[in-house]
């Protein structure tokens, strides 16, 4: 007997019950970093309906974290979980590309 699984039609972490973990690396209140933070907040409100966690790292205060995550350019958003890990550079203004990269559509 073949029964369909209703969760099979959902995407990514939502189907697995995982929490999205996003880590934004920025440089203080520089214009592109500030814009990236604002755009990320908008993305959260619009597209992240599943459980998620946002971490903000100011590389001027915690440069070691940037090195450990291979971040040499800011702003930089890393999808830490669910795997595979994804890195998006820039101020996140191209919503369609960011949403696609983060597997939210």
Nearest to 100 by CA among 44, 47, 52: 47
Q: In which band, very low, low, confident or very high, does the pLDDT at 1 lie, cut at 50, 70 and 90?
A: very low
Q: Is 49 a domain residue?
A: yes
Q: Is 18 a domain residue?
A: no
- Say what the pLDDT of residue 16 is: 54
Q: Is 4 a domain residue?
A: no
Backbone angles phi, psi at 79, to 5 degrees: -85, 105
Q: Is 60 a domain residue?
A: yes
In this predicted model, which residue has the larger pLDDT, 15 or 83? Answer: 83
Tokens found for residue 70 = 């291979």
Percent of the chain topping pLDDT 90: 65
Whether the full predicted model's pTM is greater than 0.95, yes or no, is no
């Amino acid at each position: 007997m073949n029964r369909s699984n209703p969760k099979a039609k959902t995407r990514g972490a939502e189907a697995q019950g995982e929490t999205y973990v996003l880590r934004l690396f920025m440089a203080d209140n520089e214009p592109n970093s500030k814009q990236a933070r604002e755009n990320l907040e908008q993305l959260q409100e619009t597209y992240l309906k599943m459980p998620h966690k946002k971490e903000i790292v100011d590389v001027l205060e915690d440069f070691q974290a940037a090195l450990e995550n291979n971040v040499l350019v800011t702003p930089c958003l890393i999808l830490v979980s669910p795997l595979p890990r994804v890195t998006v550079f820039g101020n996140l203004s191209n919503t369609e590309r960011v949403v696609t990269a983060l597997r939210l559509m």
